Amino acid sequence: MFSVKKIIMKNIVILLFLTLLVPSPTLTAQGYTLSGGISTANDTPVEQVELVLINTATNEKQIQFTGADGVFYFLNVPAGNYTLQAEKTDAVRAGVSTVDLIRLGEHLLGLAPISDPLAWLGADVDQSGALSVFDIQLISRIILQMDHAFPQSPGWRFLRAGQQFTDPDDPFSTDLTGADKISFAVDADRSELNFTAVKLGDVNLSYKP
Ligand SMILES: [Ca+2]
């Protein structure tokens, strides 16, 4: 014979069981994983790069940093349209030495032109769109510890990986407006959101962490 108490208990057990079958909204929140890597022109990973992910509809901002392997992840990113940018302001002196001054001097004197477009961008520490003795002066001040940052720019510059230069002998002729940013839609997991890092002042691409 069933008592009322037993029937209630049975219903509670059934109810609890049914609750387990219904997906919990917090556990199934729609979200995707975004990832990418940041490395220099010669594939050296760059750590502690700040990645700023902005939802273009809501302006909501998320920040993550690369690990020692140069890789970053954003987890549980809702579907939408986004822009991603990379920034780094520390390690200004990394990869910068008198060898870079000599290399830039050789280029300016026409003795040995710099061939890699990314090295041109690294040498242009005053961000003037040209290489000059003023860049040599600013790099000298960093080496001599007279300055602790380049006055016109952060110590690093980032471009979407795979940036092409129309004239490799004159990289400054390529319009790089917007090349520091990746714009994309998220409706699935995304990898390969990669950037190339340019260490300002590192003319011979010697940067190592
Ligand atoms: Ca160097």
The beta strands (E) that lie in 18-79 are given as 32-40, 50-55, 61-65, 71-77
Domains and CATH numbers, the chain: 29-209 (2.60.40.10)
Q: Identify the CA nearest to 34 among candidates 190, 181, 192, 161.
A: 190
pLDDT score for 123: 97
Q: Name which of 65, 89, 86, 66 is nearest 155 in CA terms.
A: 89
Q: What confidence category does residue 5 fall into, taking pLDDT thresholds of 50, 70 and 90?
A: confident
Residue 189 in tokens: 């997991």
Per residue in 159-187, pLDDT (tens digit) is 999 999 999 789 999 999 999 999 999 99
Distance between Cα 47 and ligand 1 center (Å) = 18
Q: What SS3 class is residue 117?
A: helix
Å from CA of 206 to ligand 1 middle: 4
Work out the pLDDT band at 6, boundaries 50, 70, 90.
confident
CA–CA separation, 121 vs 138, rounded Å? 14
Read off the amino acid at residue 168.
P
1: helix, strand or coil: coil
Mean residue pLDDT across the chain: 91
What's the gap in Å between 128 CA and the centre of ligand 1? 20
Between 23-32, 101-110, 181-190, the lowest mean confidence (pLDDT) is in 23-32
Q: How far is the CA of 208 from the centre of ligand 1 (A)?
A: 9
The predicted pLDDT at position 57 comes to: 97
